[in-house]
Amino acid sequence: MPSKIKKSLEALMAHIKQSKSRRTTILQARGEPGHRAAPARGSNHDAKIGSRIDVGEIVRKDEKEFRRYKFQLNSNAQDSTLKKKAAQDSHKVYSTADVEIKASRTEEEEEQAMQDFEEQMSRNLRE
């Protein structure tokens, strides 16, 4: 059975994929390090999902620039397990994913980049 942290990550990924603007925020590598990428702070989804994606630093790989995103738990999570873990360290990074910074993508490239993002988050999950 998946852990509550894994379920929260899955719910967050579904939330991001539901909205073109949320996907665009991730894929265009917008935002400042330490700021929230999704969900919006204080939204109904914030507490219900119990986790967030924060914008991270820019990293270089093979002459390309990537934006790192960080999966973290919310201290206002409705779920008591997530809330307790977040209270211990709300800045603990449970997973990361890197998205290549590109000026534009085709629809197919966007789909592939979102799939890569989700797979990295799942594969890199450390509980």
Handedness of CA 29, 82, 11, 44 (dihedral sign): negative
From the CA atom positions of the chain, what is the Rg in Å?
A: 14
Find, among 120, 124, 103, the residue nearest to 27 by Cα: 103
Distance between the two ends of the chain, CA-based, in angstroms?
Answer: 14
Tens-place pLDDT, residues 72-123: 999 999 999 999 999 999 899 999 999 999 989 999 999 999 999 999 999 9
User: Considering the entire predicted model, what is its pTM?
Assistant: 0.93
